[in-house]
Amino acid sequence: MLKLIASISSLGMILAILLSVGALRNGAARDEAFAAIENLPPLARPAALPPDLPPLVARHLLATAPAGRPPARLVQLEQVGWFRSAPDQGWASLDARQVLRGDRPDLAWSGRVSQNPLLWIWALDTCREGRGRFDARLYGLFTAAQGQGPAVDASSLLRWLAEAPWLPGALAPRPGLAWSPGPEPTSARVSLTQGQTQVAGVFYFDDQGLITRFLTSDRYRDQDGRPMRQDWETLYADWRDLGGGLIPTQGEARWLTPAGPFAYVRVQIRAARYR
């Protein structure tokens, strides 16, 4: 019995050391990725909206703008939520931090997905200067998934578009970001070009100018180890002013599969800091 207790204690100590090493590694990687986004030089934004901007978009930008001051250049977010990797899986808890730029389509996201206190995965997702990359590790140490390349670049730019509503003013037209009328009266089409990558999607708006949905056919999903295009949408709710203008504080991302919509992540914004 004493030997068993000693063995269990030793295993517990080894696990504690591994988790501490993983936490230190995660923190260093996150801080480096966030600093890389935050320290990119600012880009100038047009002083006025173009006259051919769809009225829905102009109304949205005016409705969400911070009162009495120009839009912030970036936002740091704290998020909580839930994640699952397949429709038949239960939801795992999600705790995450993110930095998102408004003057350029760049972001860094770091999150921890936990099935239970003893099983968790740390992930880092970045989009910088048109290049996307993600890295997911069990306990922050053992590689679970990694990705980069053209499909990841396109998907990362689309992620920035879908999350730009968290930073009022980020969706204002500028070189590389253009708007045109959408397929329905309550929609507008947006295209984003960065380097050799171009993506597009459609935003839908309510009667107050707030976004309710983003839909695209340009995002890639891993299917049997290969990136394949699949329709993808995000939903937005509970718009509030957390210090930088009106933003959606609840969101959901879904794959639109032949079998029906598959919601795989739901998030709530816990805090937002603008500068």
Mean pLDDT in each 10-residue stretch from start to end of the chain (275 residues)? 49 52 74 94 87 96 92 97 95 97 97 88 96 94 92 98 98 96 98 96 98 98 92 98 97 97 98 97
Report the alpha-carbon distance of residue 198 to residue 203 in Å, rounded.
17
Residue position matching structure tokens 């976004």: 211
Tokens coding 190: 């947006």
pLDDT of residue 2: 47
Domain boundaries, the chain: 2-41+50-274
Report the alpha-carbon distance of residue 235 to residue 214 in Å, rounded.
7
Q: Considering the chain, what percentage of its residues have pLDDT values greater than 70? A: 91
pLDDT of residue 189: 98
pLDDT of residue 224: 85
Residues across the chain:
275
Which CATH fold topology does 2-41+50-274 show? Answer: outer membrane lipoprotein receptor (LolB), chain A (2.50.20)
Report the alpha-carbon distance of residue 152 to residue 133 in Å, rounded.
7
pLDDT of residue 143: 87
Report the alpha-carbon distance of residue 60 to residue 186 in Å, rounded.
12
pLDDT of residue 98: 98
Q: Report the number of secondary-structure helices (H) and strands (E) in the chain.
A: 3, 15
Report the alpha-carbon distance of residue 137 to residue 127 in Å, rounded.
18
Instruction: Please say whether the dihedral angle defined by the alpha carbons of residues 166, 170, 171 and 177, taken in this order, is positive or negative.
Output: negative
pLDDT of residue 8: 46
Per residue in 107-160, pLDDT (tens digit) is: 999 999 998 877 899 999 999 999 999 999 999 889 889 999 999 999 999 999
Torsion (CA) 83, 240, 185, 54 in degrees, nearest 10: -110
